[in-house]
Amino acid sequence: MNVAYLLTGGNTGNRLQYLNKAVAEIKKHCGTILSKSSVYETAAWGIKEQNSFLNQALKLSTVLFPQELLDCLLQIEENLGRIRIEKYGPRIIDIDILLFNDDVIDARNLKIPHPELSNRRFALQCLNDVAPDIVHPVSKKTIAQILKECTDPLRVDKFE
């Protein structure tokens, strides 16, 4: 059995509802969700019309291989996106694979660990809820340590 850490996120529509729908779809199609982080909000900044983002990390137990998991998640993104928004509209939910076991994958369409994980406070903050002691397979630091050293200036607060 594989263990993957995922990050869901969105900033359009009923954001919380979409995060919950993503959880339900992932349970149905990808495996068993072992734990969930709190939902965190990254405040809007810079461009006026941008809503703030909600994010949540999920710990997933799955029999799928990384590429299969990616395909499955893309399908879920697309399905959820079609509920409200026209075919070529913006996706209303993003689902990223942050970590997959201790694997390091550098394929064209799939990079694991997620290359921006260490740079983004919202991703680290969520992941830190469910896996503070997990060691990043490239930098060999724990998630808690990476979060402590993160220079991302965008504030991340607990939602709810």
> At 8, which helix (H) or strand (E)?
strand 2-10
Q: Is 152 among the catalytic positions?
A: no
Of 28, 47, 87, 88, which lies in the binding site for another protein, with binding defined by CB under 8 A?
Answer: 47
The rounded distance, in Å, linking the Cα atoms of 125 and 1 is: 26
The rounded distance, in Å, linking the Cα atoms of 45 and 16 is: 20
Catalytic residue among 15, 71, 84, 96: 96
Instruction: Annotate each residue in 88-107 with x if it binds another protein (CB under 8 A) or - if it does not, as one string.
Output: ------------------x-
Task: Give the contacts of 52 (CB within 8 A, at least 6 positions apart).
Answer: 11, 41, 42, 43, 44
Of 24, 35, 119, 132, which lies in the binding site for another protein, with binding defined by CB under 8 A?
Answer: 119
125, 34, 18, 152: which is closest to 76 by C-alpha?
A: 18
The rounded distance, in Å, linking the Cα atoms of 8 and 73 is: 10
Q: Is 91 among the catalytic positions?
A: yes
Q: Is 94 among the catalytic positions?
A: yes
Of 87, 108, 133, 160, which lies in the binding site for another protein, with binding defined by CB under 8 A?
Answer: 108
Asked whether position 151 contacts another protein by CB under 8 A, the answer is yes
Active site residues: 82, 91, 94, 96
* Contact residues: another protein, CB under 8 A: 45-48, 106, 108, 115-116, 119-120, 149, 151-154
